[in-house]
Structures are given as structure tokens and as C-alpha cells.
Amino acid sequence: MGRLHADPVSTALMHPTRRALYVALLEADEYTTVQLQNLVSVDRYNLYHHLRKLESLGLVMNHRDQGRTRWWCVMDRVPLPSDGSSATEEDTIARIDLSNPKVQATAKRLIRELGSMTGQNLELDGIALESIDLKGRRNS
């Protein structure tokens, strides 16, 4: 059986940072690089990496520079692929409370490990996790 290749635009917009950048730009006429960085909370290197990816797909562009300020806007409006958030409260099969610092530290370690297994570098320093909801459907 061959591998299924998804549309590159949909694949790009499945990434949470790129999706957040694109959605922010859809909701405004334009943003500066600094404004986008504050909206999505990533470092400058990662921000430019994701903006260049969206730009290479023709979704956004750096449409004007004013001094050292770069302004970005949407070039192509496309439907957003499902990010899985259509799961409802009924799909929650368990909730893990992370208010205990020891439980939270363990959860962060496991989340980082899962992230690295899926190719995502999850930066959780400075973030207080409250709970983890496990979504799914019970097999009948």
C-alpha cells in the first residue's frame, strides 16, 4: 500500500504555529513581524521559519517594509483543514488534573517526549498546565 500524500497547504496549516499565524492574518489587514511574534509566542527564528513556509505556498507575503519593520498580509484565503478541535465534551474520556507540581512535571516530560516522537519541539517552560483532556471514542 502506498503512502497517502496530503495537500501541502493543508499539511502546512495543520501545524499549530503556522495555523495561528494564518488565522491572525486572516482576521486583520496586516501585522508586523513583532506583532505576530507576540500573538503566537515563538522566538524570532521560528517565526520567520513558519512565515517563510506560508509565503512559499503563496498564503501570506511580506508586502511592505517600513524601516526595519516588516508588514505581513494574507495573499490567498483557503479553507482551514480540521485541526481535530471538532471533538465535543462528549468525546472526553478522561481528564487528568495537573495541579500537583510533581504530576505537572511528569506530564511535561511525557508531552515533550510525545512531541519529539511526532517531530514537534514543544516548548513548555514558563507554562503552567492545568489539565489534560483525553479525547476519543469508545469502541463498541
Average pLDDT rounded to a whole number, residues 66-78: 93
- Single pTM value for the model: 0.58
Q: Which domains does the chain possess?
A: 8-74 (1.10.10.10), 89-135 (no CATH)
How confident is the prediction for the chain on average, in pLDDT? 84
Say which residues have a Cβ less than 8 Å from residue 60's Cβ, sequence separation at least 6.
Answer: 21, 22, 25, 51, 54, 72, 73, 74, 75
According to the model, what pLDDT value does residue 89 have? 56
Identify the three-state secondary structure at position 123: coil
Q: Using alpha carbons only, what angle is made at residue 12 by residues 28 and 37, rounded to the nearest 5 degrees?
A: 45
